[in-house]
Every structure is written in C-alpha cells, then in structure tokens.
Amino acid sequence: MTTSKIPSNRRGFLALGGAVALLAGAPALWRVFAPGLSAPPHPSVPGFFQLEQGAVTGAFDPLVGLQDGPRIAPAEITDLCAALFRAPLEGRVPLAYFTDINCPFCRTMEPWITALDPATVAVTVHDLPLLGAASVAAARAIVAAEYQGAASKMRSRLHRTRFQPDPPYLTALAEGLGLDAPRLLQDMERPEVTARIATSLGLAARFQIPGTPALVVGSVLAVGNRSKAEVQSLIDQAETGVCT
C-alpha cells in the first residue's frame, strides 16, 4: 500500500496554523499552562504573599494629617478581610487598590483599575494620603463626596487638576460637579470620613506598604506601579485565600 507524505514545509505550515487556531479558539488554555505565580509569604501578615516591589511615590508616615489639624492615626485592624475588601465578593476576585491623588503612577493606573469587569473583580479603593496636606484634604473630599453619590466623579476631577485644600477651592470644585458644597465641606469633617482614612492607613501599616500605588489581589500584595497585563495576570491566577 502506498502512503502519501506531506512535504516538510507544508507540515510546518499546518502545525503553525493549528497552533494559532488552538490559541485563538481557546484562550483559557494559556491561563492553564501559563507560568505559575511565584510570591513568597508576606513577612507579617499570615496567609498573604508579597511580590517584589515596583516604583512607588511617597513614604508611609504614621503622623500623616498632623499638619492639617487633628492627627489621623492609623486604625487598629481587627477584621482584616472586612477592612481590606469592603465590596461584596459574591464569588468575584477581591482587589484592594491603595492610591494617593498626588501620586503620578496612580493617575496612570486608576482609570483601568476602576474599569475592571465588576462581574469578575470586586474592586475596593483605599485613599491613602501619604503626600502631605493636599493629599489628606483630597482623600477627605473623595470620601465625603460618596455621601452624595459622587466619589468617582470627584476622584476623576481631582486627577485633572492641582488640588488646593482650602474652602473657596473646595466650594468651587463641588459646585462644578453639581454637588451641595456646604454639605461636602461638613461631610469632610465627619468622624466616619476620618475613620475610613484611618482604616486605610492602618492597613498600610499592617502590610508595610511604603507608598502608592499598591494592590492586594486575592491574597497577593503587589506594591508599586504595575501594567494592566501584570494585574490581569494576578487576577487570572488568583486562588482562594484567607479572604475569599
């Protein structure tokens, strides 16, 4: 019986075409066979892991807020998971994002971090003011705007301007966003607003986060500037951890 042979160049072409078709038709296979995430255990938070640090802005200061009047002391964290991931998980990958309005890396990362698919990723944003008085006041303004359903609008607006932490500027800012300006100024001093920032500071102290940006994806801490591809890889490889 005679058997026909495929020319070697044609065999190579078919093999290449088959590989392309396989990858195009089943992208999930790449995630299955992708190199596994390698991260050592976090030195002080059991159950969590820590990647090598990337570029950060600022440095953790336990006395942050002192120059603005009442000191914002880092809160003692009693329920780590509840403090870290405020958003309901509902089977989604939890992601905590620590940011400072004056951090240039954060301005680059934040648009696509906050636009991650809410069906698969539960994003909790922590305003971590490490860069002085303006950062503290901006964090207060963002959290206070949440009471008027405008935290995202406030955050987006502040990323496009140089923030001035004084009442005239805050009034003009609030009015420009269609908010009740007197209410915003009052809400900025609410104990709940201070407590929210204190919790973020407490988490930064607990995880030894030296600056922003920083992420906790599942049970993995990634401090420093990260690309969208890197973060998506963390999401894809996230395993059930202490908070999921």
Residue 1: inside a domain: no
**Rounded distance between C-alpha atoms, residue 87 and residue 90, angstroms:** 9
Backbone dihedral angles phi then psi of residue 224, each to the nearest 5 degrees = 110, 170
Domain that holds residue 14: 8-37
> Residue 226 carries which side chain, given as an amino acid letter?
R
Residue 2: inside a domain: no
Residues facing residue 125 across a β-bridge: 97
Q: Residue 18 above 50 pLDDT?
A: no
Q: Dmax over Cα atoms in the chain, in whole Å?
A: 94
Q: How many domains does the chain divide into? A: 2
Average pLDDT over the chain, rounded to an integer: 82
Token couple for 159: 């990323």
Condensed to tens digits (0 to 9), the pLDDT of residues 139-184 reads 999 999 999 999 999 998 888 877 777 889 999 999 999 999 999 9
Name which of 212, 166, 190, 202 is nearest 45 in CA terms.
202
Whichever domain contains 86, its CATH number is 3.40.30.10
Do 172 and 161 belong to one domain?
yes
What single DSSP character describes residue 67?
G
This prediction's pTM: 0.80
Do 20 and 99 belong to one domain?
no
**DSSP-assigned letters across all residues of 5-45:** ---HHHHHHHHHHHHHHHHHH-THHHHHHSPPP--PBPSSS
